[in-house]
Structure 1
Amino acid sequence: MTLEPSDRPVALVTGSTSGIGEAVVRRLAADGMRVVVHSRNSTEAGEALAAELGGAYVRADLAVEEEARGLAEAALDRYGRLDVLVNNAGISWPIPHDDLAAATPADWRQVLEVNLIAPWVLCTAALPALREAPAGGSIVNVTSHAGVRPKGSSVPYAASKAALNHVTRLLAAALAPGVRVNAVAPGLVDTAMTKDWAHAHDIWRDRAPMRRPAQPADVADLVASVLANSYLTGEVILLDGGLNLT
């Protein structure tokens, strides 16, 4: 990539060509940041979105350590700075919690590689630049209410998000005051991935005080608020429409 030094904060958002990630990257661009769009395989959509937002697109498979590390390096190569890292990308598929044999060691390794280890690699790769951010660097991990309550599409998925929540707190303590680290933990979000999750939609419609799942923009608004608050660190913020109250 050709170096284009930026006088605006630069934000890297993983998994940002659709759903929550797209909403976040659009919101941060609207807030005046240079954005780096990422996906594993949606190259055409990623390049189009980056062009629309005046940002850059980088393809990387986060399950491959070298590619995850290279994603942060590519953002720096393009803009010469990195102020914000939003670890949004994740994988999930339904496995009944009581079917222990169905959650194989291979499933565990695949989920943990993308949902937990890749964010760690990205934090590590981005840290020197985040420490040099003029207003202080900020990391936001998009986790899940399944990492807070005994819920979720599978035990490996829930465990990966619970671990990322705890990593958030550990890094917040270790990296302060120069770099803030927080997590946003949504419940059900109305995206293409969840459109066929009829049972989950029924739960949020019938039991959540807000009587609906979140929209991607709801999550993006919270991420933007977390980034805007220069005092907030070490928090895991539930965004589940109040379902945790029931």
Structure 2
Amino acid sequence: MAGKDFDGFVVLVTGGSTGLGRAIAVETAARGAEAVIINYASSQAEAEETARQVESHGAQAVLVQGDVGEDADCRRIAAAAEPFGRIDALFNNAGVTKFAPNHADLDAVNADDFLRLYQVNVVGAFQMVRAARALLEAGDRAGAVVNTASIAGVTGIGSSVPYAASKGAMNTMTLSLARALAPKIRVNAICPGFIDTPWFGKAMPDDTVARMREGVIRSTPLQAASTAEDIAGAAVFLASPASRHVTGETLLVDAGTHLGFASLSMR
């Protein structure tokens, strides 16, 4: 933790009800944020728990339901920050997937899967930036956008081909927006690897998730299955004053997964 480097910040987190979104919301509150706007699509009870944790750190929590795949919802979510006059940090964390881990099974996914994943993971993030642009530009410092991409978008692995493709598109969009919106807005992305959250449990039996977790620990150079809190620090760094000269960056936060599964040494 870096003290109170978010002192007075107004933060907006999409997909903030659970997992990484919750961890980001709580971390920014713990670091001094004045207000944290928590977007959720359907998990109201879980979003309320995020709000409770945010408020325990002294920040104001604002809950906003909405699907980032819908432009009208994005505009309503961003409007929740209008009473504060600005957005200092927008975390585009909302995302969906289709579980089809055997990428060779081309019949496991279809055009509708691609369209739905792109609508939320790519178009949704774009729409949120567009809706929040004026508020991101309204502060004394450059507004910060942090996109939650994935190691899948860098290496082509992950829960399905459409998911990996959508995260690759998000990485490219991060570059485009960083160039287009400078100097008033910084745009960066994090690329997490495996995150040990309920995300996988929604589609897989507990014993399968446990085997996956052990496999991740064995195969990553840092021998770790990252938690949401492990990843949140990197996301929050990219929105903090410490990264004020960083834009257009994609930061891999994957315990070394991108280094490959074989230990190589010079002999």
TM-score, scaled relative to structure 2:
0.85
For residues 128 and 68 of structure 2, the distance between their equivalents in structure 1, rounded to whole angstroms, comes to: 9
Paired with 1:131 and 1:214, the residues of 2 have a C-alpha distance of 33
Question: How far apart, CA to CA, are the structure 2 residues paired with 1:121 and 1:63?
Answer: 8
Deviation above 4 Å: which 4+ runs of structure 1?
none
> Which is further off, 193-202 or 219-228?
193-202
Q: How much does 1:21 deviate?
A: 0.4
Name the residue aligned to 1:141.
147
TM-superposed deviation, 1:80: 2.4
Structure 1 counterpart of 2:170: 164
Per-residue deviation, residues 127-164 of structure 1 (Å, max 9, x unmatched): 11111221110000011000000201000000000000
CA distance in structure 2 between the partners assigned to 1:84 and 1:170 by the alignment: 18
Structure 1 residue 80 and structure 2 residue 94: aligned?
no
Larger mean Cα displacement after TM superposition, 193-202 or 167-176:
193-202
Residue 49 (str. 1) matches residue 50 (str. 2): yes
CA distance, structure 2, for counterparts of residue 71 and residue 167 of structure 1:
21
Equivalent position of 1:26 in the other structure: 26
Counterpart Cα distance in 2 of 1:191 and 1:83: 27
Match in the other structure for 2:68: 62
Q: 2:36 is matched by which residue type in structure 1? A: V
SS in 2 for 1:148: helix
- Per-residue deviation at 1:32? 1.2
Decide which of 194, 209, 214 is 2:226's aligned counterpart. Answer: 214
TM-score, scaled relative to structure 1: 0.92
Alpha-carbon RMSD:
1.6
Residue 198 (structure 1) shift: 4.3
Deviates more, 1:61-70 or 1:174-183: 61-70
1:225 maps to which of 230, 234, 237: 237
What is the identity percentage for the equivalent residue pairs of Structure 1 and Structure 2?
36
Structure 1 residues without counterparts, runs of 5 or longer: 1-6
Equivalence for 1:244:
258
Q: 2:97 is matched by which residue type in structure 1?
A: S
Aligned partner of 2:47: which letter?
G
**One-letter amino acid matched to 2:247:** T
Partner of 2:184: 178
Please tell me the residue identity of whatever aligns with 1:243.
Answer: T
